[in-house]
Structure 1
């Protein structure tokens, strides 16, 4: 089944309100659409006769080694898609050798997600995504949970000083999860009554000082997610980030920013190889992954395709999507004359319709 078919199957299976929550973006959804269209603006210019009979697509990332340069990006509320929720996603990612970034707004707690991943593959790597909380003790408690769960890196989302205006959710009146479904990582945190949930924070007051304080609480590598401006990428490196994730939050925050892919080359140039640069937003095929790597990414994250697969076919669907992305990427790498990810270089990307 193609990704398009999985998407359609998921749309038919889901409550329309829950479908809109995942499918929708901010404002008029211009950025949401542009994330995918951006890949259509680029073409790969292959090299030939390079003696690449075998290929190694594995990738070394902070605290993790992936079988291929595809990462499962953090997304919320997987139990809206399937009863097994993040457990199914974790098992599928682990079985396919993909690094999983489990979200702060997961409907299964990080300890259970990591355990499910290790159940499928003992060496599976799980990263934990978090939003820094204005109260440092809450952030520290979340970090401790991730460490105790065995997560090998933290991914700090920094593009959400305020909550994005999701037109579909406002139209549908979607404000609460159904009974029995909650952001479980936010339960039993400092300052809240036993068993109660703490809101996921959105605070424009957060700054690099808060990032520095976070680094002081853990020895885990910390990646910064939601960077579009190269100056912010430089600041992140200077403050000790172990990696940068170029992302516009899947088009869910500001509807006037560029496509993530269009921001990637400048960020990669600014970082100049000091830390890995990842990309998410609009990746739908292995060829998209190849374009991202040629433009400077070490790996590409996929979000919505995983959710459509989960809704359509559960764990097996997620495995299918990840395997097909990896295989399509490997095929594209071969067609471009590459033996390893680093063989995809900037000079091999041209505007579609031209050669320079």
Structure 2
């Protein structure tokens, strides 16, 4: 695998989050670009996430007297600067040597939560030390003793919430990674797992994704609601269930004690052919929105997308790939700029829609177009 070609943050300012994608593609090795940009199977769901958001039209309100916008909100009972969080994403040191430390620091500067992945390439203790508000994302491991150890470390590190990803019993089949025989370089490891637990992730072979082989060996495919109940009983942190599409699963998550659910199809990287996350958002909100917070991820690329999600009933969104592109393009400074740009876009969208705050955005009507 070729080393990334690191560049300084371009003098020309980005005017949309898509600008960072072009800059990242120019500096990343092709296999790393494919690993992050790609989806599963025919990438139908990957494309649907974007097209479905584009079909949500928001009806703005006029003459509302909005001359100042307050983006601040509360997620899981804590205050944040805007209804946005940094989605959990693995192995961020693939994109930049500073990896999780840079993106977490940018999130802290922006006043939004940073969701640290079980498969992060920086230990959770160091990520929590950046000063960001950190939520820890848990993949359920075959070894329950490792799960207990991770939970102890999460609590000791001062993480604010536990986010359990439930849509990865096994890794989705990702043709780009198979064609590239994708594997991790030696310097990038699963830093939250004990030494040697990610050896498979570095072992390349033609037509094999080393990442998929590693997760198959490490993850427990038979996660059940009883396991979440066990978590709820033994962990005194807000519990978020991520990867819900069917409203019946959202209802079950609330019964199990979830404080929030994330309507997500894993960015189109798991079961291909499932609906776009935003398509299922209204049904999940109708099912549980008065009993827990509902967040959205998969496909969010702009402040307008955040407004769309809020108008459909979400309490907030998680943003993923665009922030990785910014990280690749220029490290922490570019990631900070990307989050500032998103805040600027969201403030403009609120003003144009006649909304002074997120609560007003939640009262907007939407119509389907196209």
Instruction: Pick from 281, 285, 291 the counterpart of residue 268 of structure 1.
Output: 285
User: Which residue, out of 141, 152, 169, partners 1:144?
Assistant: 152
Deviations along 1:172-197, whole A, 9 cap, x unmatched? 001x311121010112xxxxxxx332
In the alignment, which residue of structure 2 is the partner of 1:91?
105
1:236 aligns with 2:253: yes
Residue 225 of structure 1 corresponds to which residue in structure 2? 242
Q: Deviations over 1:20-61 (max 9, x none)?
A: 100100001111111111111111101112232322211111
Shift of 1:210: 0.7
Query: How much has 1:250 moved relative to structure 2?
Result: 0.5
Please list the CA deviations of residues 114-144 of structure 1 after superposition, one character each: whole Å capped at 9, or x if unmatched. 102x1xxxxx311000112233222111111
Identify the residue that residue 133 of structure 1 maps to in structure 2: 141
1:71–1:302 Cα contact (<8 Å) kept: yes
Residue 275 (structure 2) aligned to one of 258, 262, 266: 258
Using the TM superposition, name which of 177-186 and 340-349 deviates more.
Answer: 340-349
* Structure 1 counterpart of 2:169: 161
Match of 1:334 in 2: 351
How far 1:95 moved relative to its partner? 0.5
Whole-angstrom CA distance in 2 between matches of 1:143 and 1:232 = 24
1:196 counterpart residue number: 196
Q: Does 1:107 align with 2:121?
A: yes
Deviations 1:236-256 (A, max 9, x none): 001100100000000000111
Decide whether the 8 Å contact of 1:107 with 1:184 is kept in 2: yes
Q: Distance in 2 between matches of 1:82 and 1:204?
A: 31
* 1:212 and 2:229 correspond: yes
What residue in structure 1 maps to residue 96 of structure 2?
82
TM-score, normalised on structure 1? 0.92
Q: Which residue of 2 aligns with 1:11?
A: 25
Distance 2:62 2:161 in 1: 38
Matched residues in 1 for 2:347 and 2:323: separation?
Answer: 19
Once the two structures are TM-superposed, the CA of residue 149 in structure 1 deviates from its matched residue by 1.0
SS at match of 1:216: helix
Matched, 1:184 2:198: no
| Corresponding residue SS for 1:212 | helix
Paired position in structure 1 for 2:7: none
How far apart, in 2, do the equivalents of 1:255 and 1:196 lie? 31
1-structure distance, mates of 2:165, 2:229: 14
**How many residues were matched structurally?**
339
Contact persistence 1:64–1:99 (CA under 8 A): no
Distance in 2 (CA, whole Å) between partners of 1:81 and 1:134 is 28
Alpha-carbon separation, structure 1, partners of 2:95 and 2:78: 27
Q: Which runs of 5+ in 1 are unaligned?
A: 119-123, 188-194
Question: Equivalent of 1:172, from 170, 177, 180?
Answer: 180
User: C-alpha displacement at 1:336, in angstroms?
Assistant: 1.0
Q: Is contact 2:296–2:309 with CA below 8 Å preserved after alignment?
A: yes
Counterpart-to-counterpart distance in 2, 1:211 and 1:342? 31
Contact map agreement 2:134 2:160 (CA 8 A) in 1: yes
Name the SS for the 1:54 alignment partner. Answer: coil
Give the structure 2 partner of residue 190 of structure 1: none
Task: Answer whether contact 1:65 1:125 (CA < 8 A) is retained.
Answer: no
Q: TM-score, normalised by structure 2?
A: 0.89
The match for 2:44 among 25, 30, 37 is 30
- Residue 191 (structure 1) aligns with: none
Q: Which moved more, 1:52-61 or 1:11-20?
A: 52-61
Q: Check the 8 A contact 2:246/2:284 in 1, yes or no.
A: yes
Give RMSD over aligned pairs.
1.4
**Residue 352, structure 1, aligned to residue 362, structure 2:** no
Structure 2: which 5+ runs fail to align? Answer: 1-13, 199-213
Match of 1:67 in 2: 81
